Amino acid sequence: EVIHEGFALWDRADRLVRCNTRLRELLGPSGALLVPGLSFRRFVRLEAAQIQVPAGGRLGSWVRERITQHREGAAGLEHGYRGGRWAQVSESRMPDGSTISIYVDVTEARQREQQLRESERRLRAIMASAQDAIIVLERGHHVSFANCGLPYYVGGEIADAAASDNAAIAEKPSG
């Protein structure tokens, strides 16, 4: 109970030897069923009851993939759990055939990433709808963003703006 991450030790037959309270908490109501001797397959089914399966995904496929990842020594897997929690799972096979599973809570990092994406989306919407020209110049005078107000001031039009964040200005044909 010294570490803050979820922890489980599996014997070479993939039976639970020991786990900590943090892992039990992560699995919600299913956590009470984590007892020594529990098979990894049964654990995955308990874990699956708490997982947010990705859109278009199937729970059965997720269970099969999770078991395969465990056998191969998964590293850096991220699972979304009901209630909005996220964990990064790393597993290591030990020389004696046992496996250690570590579950690191990455919920705050995921929330910050989502907030950053939303903030960027709002900023881009504001910039795109502004009537004044807004240009973002990078080093070397590379235009990394130009909104739709730019052609009004320099003439021409923004070519292929929907397909690229690096908007190009095309000259208006004379005539």
Each of the 175 residues of the chain gets a pLDDT tens digit; together they read 667 899 999 999 999 999 999 999 888 888 999 999 999 999 999 988 888 766 567 878 888 888 888 888 777 788 888 788 888 999 999 999 999 999 998 988 887 888 888 888 888 777 777 667 777 788 887 877 777 766 666 776 656 544 444 444 444 444 4
Strands (E), the chain: 6-10, 16-19, 77-80, 86-93, 99-105, 135-138, 142-146, 157-159, 168-170
The CA dihedral of 149, 152, 156, 157, to the nearest 10 degrees, is 30
